Chain A
Amino acid sequence: MANYYQPEIETASREEILAIQNEKIVKQVKHVYENVKYYRDLMDAKGVKPEDIKSVDDIKKLPFLSKADLREAYPYGLLGTDLKNCVRIQSTSGTTGKRVVAFYTQHDIDLWEECCARAIVAAGGTNEDVCQVCYGYGLFTGGPGLNGGSHKVGCLTLPMSSGNTDRQIQFMMDLNATILCCTPSYAAYIGETLAEQGYKPEDNKLKAGIFGAEPWTEEMRRSIEKSLGIKAYDIYGLTETSGPGVAFECCAQSGMHINEDHFYAEIIDPDTGEVLPEGSKGELVFTSLDKEAFPLLRYRTRDICVLTREKCACGRTHVKMSKPMGRSDDMMIIRGVNVFPSQIETVLLNEGYTPNYQIVVDRVNNSDTLDIYVELLPDQFSDIVAENQKKERSLEIAMRTMLGIGPKVHLVPPHSIVRSEGKAVRVIDKRKLHD
């Protein structure tokens, strides 16, 4: 089964892709050098001139950009064109105090939506599908990106935005939605709510889901696929590079193809900045090859993953990135041990619990505490106190084995953890309040 939105590009030979990239990078570096003073200063400081960049092999000579640069250049410092050529902004949530505002020309919007269209078609989407988009619409890139992609494919688009789960389910059932686009945690929540309302997985018409904007595990994929009766595909992107669709999963479900005609990917050693060979684990860095308004070169994503050019069963030739193994931001250091929320999620799903959890880290008497709140499904709860406590103890043991440190597990009733209708608040680190 192979479905392509733009077969000539998606299955182009390695040489053809390189030729496209080489042509674009020369133009792009010149464009950035001439129009973005902030980056020109970085290049000058490093002694790199646009003429030094003749092909993608020369990208490694360019300076990196990081989130700190984006903050410093906020809001217009990295703008690559006159504002009169821009038609849109999108922005990150800024929950960590690092709001990013990205600008788009119509050309930038079109290429972003095309990338999303490739993702939808790869998930089996055609103009006969009904695509329910319940990512947030507005500043968040999730809703606008998938909405635009869905239009390009010609799906009947349900622009639901996030939240109001009863209404989501009503439209899903009444209008026979076949493709669901949202965060994985919200997909899991919709699955649970459908079951609570008495629906079986086969009662809906969904065939595929395109889930992203949050880290999620293979266990979570299997759990969502089972609860909704679908195939679940990962999609990747950042506001800094455009939004969802920078990379997407195909029918092989074994990594995400990066849209290499628009985005050049490198893996670097996060400590030294050195480019690592294919197959190495390291930090993902993107260079946008043809965006006009917000043309970031060598942007460090802080996502740790692996790139592979192994032949893919779907026939696409674009490089694949593994699911990010965790963003350096997500990692918590608790009592000196590195802990990722994805490890906790893996334990919960393996032990038969829901992926609805919240991690609270605090510091009491100069020692870190780790509390994990886990929602029970109604049939997992017992009227006998000791039975529930036994479940807590056995989860604590499983967590200690996985994490290397012992958390306190708290079982809580269904729906008591605040829901992510945009993104899940998985971690509350109260230590930051004390420091």
Chain B
Amino acid sequence: MKGSYLGELEELTLLTVGILYPEAYGVGVMDEIEKQAGRSLNISAVHSVLTRLEEKGFLTSKMSDPTEERGGRRKRIFLLTAAGKRVLEEAHQMRTQMYNRIPKMALQFQWT
């Protein structure tokens, strides 16, 4: 299914939203990605990934209470949906499965 395909950045963002629960919002996600993965993104890119994920149904959002640091503006708080969790699990599972199928030799060879 087309909708269930997750891009790399999408997966990263989805994971971050999970990590930041229940306080994931634009700038927070951006900072966390930079911290965890060392990738510096522009805030607008983060926004577009978040809204795309929301359109795909992996995230929902609600507005938070107003905060002072934003000049009294509210944040949009993102939360994982059931579909979002499932797609993360599937991606993780697929990776582990695939990882496990790599012949030991190959790994050893690389690690030496």
Q: Do A and B come from one complex?
A: no
B residues near A (Cβ < 8 Å) are: none
A residues near B (Cβ < 8 Å) are: none
